[in-house]
Amino acid sequence: MRIRWQLSILFIIISLVALNGCNKDQGPRPSQGTLDNPSFHVMRGKDLLDEQRIDAASKQFDLGLELQSEYGPALAGKALVLTLQSQQVGLEPEKAAEFLEESENLLEKALSNAEGPNEELSVQLLAMRTITARAEGDDWIDDVEDHFNEALEIFEDHPDLQASKAEPWYYWGQSNEKALRFEEAQNAFTQVLELNRGFTRDANHAIEQLNKIVRAQPGTRHGRELAMIEQITRADMAALLMQELKLADLYTRNATEQREELKFESPTKDFIPPGESKIERPLASDISEHPLREDIETILKLQVRGLESNPQFLFFPNKEITRAEYALMLEDVLIQVTQDSAQSTRFVGDTSPFVDVRPDAYYYNAARTLVSRNIMQLQDKVRGEFGPDRAVAGADALLSLRLLKDELQRYVRSPSS
């Protein structure tokens, strides 16, 4: 009996110890190597974010927090990850809102927990990126600027960190790009090049794109927003032609009528059997719910070559436009406004100067016309490549439209003439 009582007491003691252990925080995990430290994992996480590997970056920040749960830069890294994850296609709105709320809380915690200049600088830079990624409200760029100025103050107080001074300028340039403040973005990227302490290649590319946008002088906010995207869709192009080029005004009534006369019409086209009514077909059956439907329908009525619907009345509004298709569109505008139909065959039979375009390609004459007039540029001037299958970037589209508009100036009467 005594032995049974002692065993019962022992069992109770063991249970209480185990229960107490479960309730206690397990504490940080032990490091498994020299590079298994919070700072290294944050560095790797930032590299993976630059490679668009969001989930892998999240894992690195988690590894850092397992070692030090209050490590400011890792908390800020997780905040940026959650903001990016909230923007995933198909994510439920409730889940996206949950991610954003957690992101905001983590960022506040990161700013409070950063210790020392290195951690403070890392958190300020990640805060700039997180707020830019969210871009919520009218004053988000002001919040980014506050963190940018905080980062610059850290450099003033700690000259030993000057090797990283280009980083805040680069992210400040990206923020201004997203805010469509192109001049401020150019100044920031120029500062990156002058500092010559990293990010120079990316900054140089950004300046080249911004120069195109500034030269293009987009006249609408829609145009400025499109300037920042890498691949323009058919719907975007329809809206861009209507808003930036004002295509409906450029296409004269005579040009439209002439095109109608040249179209082949079947003798039975208008024949309607007795007792039946005429069926009205839509210009395109896949644009009824599209927000740019009005612009698309106008483009379809103008019958811009390269932006037609197919025989099944499908427009494919979200399909990306290639440079070959874009050349056809611009050539069509050029011919319709100038009423010079001979341009459509001017280079037929010539030897192709492009290494990647055969002279019998359906877009060959268009490519030759646009390049010869300096409205479109070669994709690779050294190799002589036109790049017909490449996507059309927003900045390139806006610049070529600006150049085309200048080319057509003498063919279009001013309102006062």
Let me know: does 275 contact 281? Beta carbons within 8 Å: no
Report residue 221 as tokens: 């906010």
21 within some domain = no
pLDDT attached to residue 15:
47
Q: Which of 164-168, 211-215, 238-242 has the lowest mean pLDDT?
A: 211-215
CATH code, domain with 134: 1.25.40
Single out the residue in 110, 131, 157 at which a domain terminates.
Answer: 157
**129: number of Cβ within 10 Å:** 22
Domain co-membership, 177 together with 151: no
Domain co-membership, 72 together with 146: yes
Per DSSP, the chain holds a count of helices (H) and strands (E) of: 18, 0
Q: What is the pLDDT of residues 297-343, one digit of tens each?
A: 999 999 999 999 999 999 999 999 999 999 999 999 999 888 888 88
Q: What is the pLDDT of residues 38-88, one digit of tens each?
A: 999 999 999 999 999 999 999 999 999 999 999 999 999 999 999 999 999
If phi > 0 it is left, if psi is from -120 to 50 it is alpha, else beta; for residue 272 that is beta
Domain co-membership, 190 together with 240: no
Q: Is the pLDDT of residue 171 over 50?
A: yes
Q: Specify the residue for token string 């923007």.
A: 87
C-alpha to C-alpha distance for 276 and 288, rounded to whole angstroms: 26
385 within some domain = yes
Domain co-membership, 151 together with 176: no
Provide the residue count of the chain. Answer: 417
Domain co-membership, 354 together with 389: yes
C-alpha to C-alpha distance for 203 and 189, rounded to whole angstroms: 5
Q: What is the domain count for the chain?
A: 3
pTM higher than the cut 0.85: no
354 within some domain = yes
C-alpha to C-alpha distance for 216 and 232, rounded to whole angstroms: 16
Closest CA to 141 of 152, 150, 149, 131: 131
Q: Specify the residue for token string 């969001």.
A: 54
**173: number of Cβ within 10 Å:** 26
Let me know: does 286 contact 316? Beta carbons within 8 Å: yes
